[in-house]
Amino acid sequence: MSDTAMAAEGLKEYGMYINGKMVPSLSGRTMESDDPFKGRAWAVVPDGNTADVDAAVAAARAAFDTGPWGKMTAMERGRLLRKLGDIIARDAEEIAQCECRDNGKLYREMLGQWQYLPEWFYYFAGMGDKLQGSTIPSDRPNFFIYTRHEPIGVIGAVTPWNSPGLLLIFKLAAGLAAGCTFVVKPSEFTSVSTLELAKRIEEAGFPAGVFNVVTGQGAIGAHLVEHPGIDKVAFTGATETGKRIAAAAAKNLTRVSLELGGKSPNVIFDDADLEVAVNGAIAGIFGATGQTCMAGSRLLVQKNVHDQVVDLLIRKTRTIKLGDPMAEATELGPVATEPQFTKVMEYIDIAKAEGATCSYGGQRDPKLGGNFVQPTIFTGVHNSMRIAQEEVFGPILAVISFEDEEEAISIANDTRFGLAAAVWTQNVHRAHRVAHRLNAGTVWINAYRVVSYAAPFGGFKESGLGRENGVDSIKEFTETKSVFVELSGVARDPFRLG
């Protein structure tokens, strides 16, 4: 599209961000970013190629190896992180609007996220200078031994379309605090908020090359993952994509951290506060239109309260207001992309074909059309059904009944995923007992969809490798170095170990 055409359409135009500058793709190509609510383009970003990736990696490599970033103390990096947090807090409304237009999530949810995200930078700003090594009692006479935590180097971050800002900052805050540099490949559907973040990083005073963004189709993400100049790949997205990334990164023995899919169980026992539990179940699956890795897509309900819970669930779901994600009253927005909408509708057909009962919803919203799917509840689900085993990533809830605690745990753990889970009960002993036995990286008790910069986040089994957030996450961006210091100055036998 020409500059004149873009101006006539009122489209915002962005460059990719390489070595401290917004630049066009070396190919000269662009691609449109569509507003899923309005069903039309609202912004234009570069459609990059492998040469753009090479340029970004070279910039990040130089910034790490020879630039001023590598010479900064952890305290100096911390000051920049705190300043960036202040800038994001100032501009949270603007960035949230961009993200809302990119992926159709509720503006009030995006605003809440961006108002909270500065805390990640404040938290990790104070952690870089706490990366303390240790002294090791020496078993060698006249030797002093100590360790250091050194930054890994250049990070290739590949982020998804559902929460591009949040899931990037999970990686970025810790990685920058550790002293790493970044090349980010956001989803081709949702690149704008990452480019808006790049502007704030520049304003905060980070040296050129520390943070780089390449935009485009999946091929450039594949090139980034396989690039020999990348020291670690940090990925959030689908499990099958994560497996391909791990295999590609292995060619160079590049380290990986993978935050992948989920099929998270939300377990309601008969002694739970059912009103509160149902509200939690609704938030767990219909929040973000179900497009979140931690979605509580399997609702496990004890048999003696099953009908009561389902009735309450349907009654509350009927009141969910679909509409413009920018409107304060809207509670459920559109599915973010046309391919994802098609996938969600296919899974509704699969569930019906397998014998599940569609107790509510199950179709495109007749009033809004577009990518709007009614919040959908399936009952009569068995855990062997595809609707109970495969990640749908949409507003589709599978309700499964269980007899007792042992059966609940068995069903909850009977999946290849292990990202999140929840337990709803007023019995404190049961709550902790069941939480301990659930195979998931995060377990909520009488709550759902809560995260914190201070709490590690990641999955068991096929939900991923490594952890983001929390004290230990910064070490995911470091290497440990052992240093042996000869104290005696006496020449040693060069042909003898030790």
Q: In what order do the strands lie in the sheet with 420-424?
A: 357-360, 376-379, 396-402, 298-302, 265-268, 420-424, 442-445
- Given a cut of 50, is residue 104 above it in pLDDT? yes
pLDDT-derived band of residue 152, with 50, 70 and 90 as boundaries?
Answer: very high
| Phi and psi, residue 417, nearest 5° | -95, 165
| pLDDT tens-digit series, residues 383-409 | 999 999 999 999 999 999 999 999 999
Average pLDDT over residues 60-80: 97
Q: 226, 259, 331, 391: which is the annotated catalytic residue?
A: 259
- pTM comes to 0.95
Say if residue 353's pLDDT is above 50: yes
Residue 179 has a pLDDT of 98
Alpha helices (H) in 117-259, listed in sequence order: 118-125, 164-178, 192-204, 218-226, 239-250
Q: What is the pLDDT of residue 490?
A: 74
190-201 mean pLDDT: 98
Q: Of how many residues is the chain composed?
A: 498
Q: Could you tell me which of 488, 307, 485, 338 has the C-alpha nearest to residue 401?
A: 307
pLDDT at 7 over 80: no
Three-state secondary-structure class, residue 355: coil
What confidence category does residue 296 fall into, taking pLDDT thresholds of 50, 70 and 90? Answer: very high
Q: How far is CA 440 from CA 86, 331, 400, 412, 463, in A?
A: 34, 28, 19, 10, 9
Per-residue pLDDT for 423 more than 80?
A: yes
pLDDT of residue 287: 96
Q: Examine the pLDDT at 142 and tell me if it is beyond 90.
A: no
Which entry of 293, 462, 468, 476 is annotated as an active-site residue?
293
Residue 483 has pLDDT above 50, yes or no: yes
**Percent of the chain surpassing pLDDT 90:** 95
Is residue 259 part of the annotated active site? The answer reads: yes
Does the structure show a pLDDT above 50 at 183? yes
Give CA–CA dist 369/15, Å, rounded: 33
Strands (E), 103-177: 135-136, 143-151, 154-158
Residue 180 known to be catalytic: no
SS3 string, 399-422, reads EEEECCHHHHHHHHHCCCCCCEEE
